[in-house]
């Protein structure tokens, strides 16, 4: 995919909400963070807008995001929070100006809709924390956001989980929130996994539904030519009164057991305070050993 220009001091970053409502007060820590990096900030109209759960109605969220897409002086758009709502506006957005003047689209969770849509256009994007989370995030994960945006070398080394499947591969990193990926199947924003390394994470899902979503991916061939699987936070998983009988890790291992690609568990990204940044669409090297796992960009 096409690599984006890294940020420089005095560049402008827009903060908008494509999904759930958020106040200006809630994003002040993020504004202060960007200012400390020498960046300028453009606050979208959707910050402070409200229609039930949403940051304004669909037309308002479309107009706000479109304005930032079309402004060539904006070098990155940082989505303020997730929730739900991005899928309601994605097909009304015009990416013509974005293609001419591409910029970083930053976020995770519901922003997975944007990541996958943009990948169909051939551009990278940044899976990373969002303004709503900045105060709770670890210093390490905030540092990785800056490193990715400003073009510093990124490499992660973590202790390998005993459940990992060993192996070394190179490929483009794609993915995001599993529930969102599942919801995009069959759409023009559908995930493409052939010869890719897939990252998944999720929050507050029933274990049986994790199984259902992964089985759908499997039945539709999304694991057939996959090069590797990275599993981030599977946070606050739920179970029924009659237990499903498997953990999220066990579900994943069972479903991908017939494939020989490496699998990494407990990668520090997703709905976690340690939500490290990942450049989606970038070719990476994944080395999964018994003692440690290395992901190099």
Contact status, residue 288 vs residue 168, Cβ threshold 8 Å? yes
- Provide CATH code, domain 155-296: 3.50.30.60
**β-bridge partners, 206:** 238
What band does 62 get if pLDDT is binned at 50, 70 and 90?
very high
pLDDT at 119: 98
Domain assignments of the chain as residue spans, ordered by start: 12-149, 155-296
The CA distance from 207 to 269, in Å, is 19
According to DSSP, the β-strands at 40-43 and 263-264 are unpaired
Which distant-in-sequence residues (6+ apart) come within 8 Å of 241 by Cβ? none
Token pair of 220 as six digits: 């539709």
The predicted model scores a pTM of 0.97
* CATH of 12-149 given 3.40.50.170, 3.40.50.720, 3.30.470.10, 3.40.50.10740: 3.40.50.10740
What band does 8 get if pLDDT is binned at 50, 70 and 90?
very high
- The stretch 210-237 carries a mean pLDDT of 98
- The stretch 56-68 carries a mean pLDDT of 99
Token pair of 273 as six digits: 């305070």
The CA distance from 280 to 240, in Å, is 34
The CA distance from 177 to 174, in Å, is 11
What band does 256 get if pLDDT is binned at 50, 70 and 90?
very high
Strand locations in 63-124 (E): 74-79, 104-107
Contact status, residue 46 vs residue 64, Cβ threshold 8 Å? yes
The CA distance from 89 to 254, in Å, is 36
Burial class (CB in 10 A: 0-12, 13-18, 19+), 44: buried
- The stretch 192-197 carries a mean pLDDT of 98
pLDDT at 271: 98
pLDDT in tens, 81-99: 999 999 999 999 999 999 9
Token pair of 185 as six digits: 């199947």
Give me the DSSP letters along 226-264: --EEEEEEEET-B--SS--SS-HHHHHHHHTTT--S-EE
The CA distance from 149 to 32, in Å, is 16
Residue (of 151, 154, 155) closest to 6 by Cα position:
151
**β-bridge partners, 177:** 201
Q: Residues 71, 77, 78, CA angle at the centre, nearest 5°?
A: 155
Q: Residues 38, 281, 180, CA angle at the centre, nearest 5°?
A: 95
pLDDT at 247: 98
The CA distance from 10 to 42, in Å, is 12
The CA distance from 13 to 73, in Å, is 9
Token pair of 156 as six digits: 């992660």
């Amino acid at each position: 995919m096409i690599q984006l220009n890294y940020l420089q001091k005095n560049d402008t970053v827009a903060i908008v909400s494509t999904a759930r409502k958020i106040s200006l007060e809630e994003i002040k820590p993020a504004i202060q963070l960007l200012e400390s990096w020498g960046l300028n900030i453009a606050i979208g109209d959707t910050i402070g807008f409200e229609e039930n759960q949403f940051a304004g109605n669909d037309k308002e969220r479309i107009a706000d995001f479109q304005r930032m897409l079309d402004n060539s002086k904006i070098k990155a758009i940082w989505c303020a929070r997730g929730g739900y709502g991005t899928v309601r506006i994605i097909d009304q957005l015009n990416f013509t100006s974005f293609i001419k003047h591409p910029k970083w689209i930053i976020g995770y969770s519901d922003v997975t809709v944007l990541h996958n849509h943009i990948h169909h256009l051939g551009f990278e994007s940044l899976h990373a924390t969002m303004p709503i989370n900045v105060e709770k995030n670890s210093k390490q994960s905030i540092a990785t956001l800056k490193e990715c945006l400003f073009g510093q070398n990124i490499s992660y080394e973590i202790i390998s989980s005993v459940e990992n499947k060993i192996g070394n591969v190179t490929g483009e990193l794609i993915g995001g929130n599993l529930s969102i990926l599942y919801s995009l199947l069959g759409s023009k924003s559908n995930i493409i996994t052939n010869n890719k390394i897939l990252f998944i994470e999720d929050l507050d899902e029933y274990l049986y539904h994790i199984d259902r979503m992964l089985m759908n991916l499997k039945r539709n061939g999304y694991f057939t030519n996959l090069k590797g699987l990275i599993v981030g936070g599977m946070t606050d998983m739920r179970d029924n009164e009659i237990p499903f009988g498997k953990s999220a890790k066990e579900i994943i291992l069972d479903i991908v057991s017939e494939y020989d690609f490496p699998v990494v568990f407990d990668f520090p990204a997703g709905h976690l305070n340690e939500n490290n940044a990942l450049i989606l669409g970038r070719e990476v090297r994944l080395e999964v050993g018994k003692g440690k796992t290395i992901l190099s960009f």
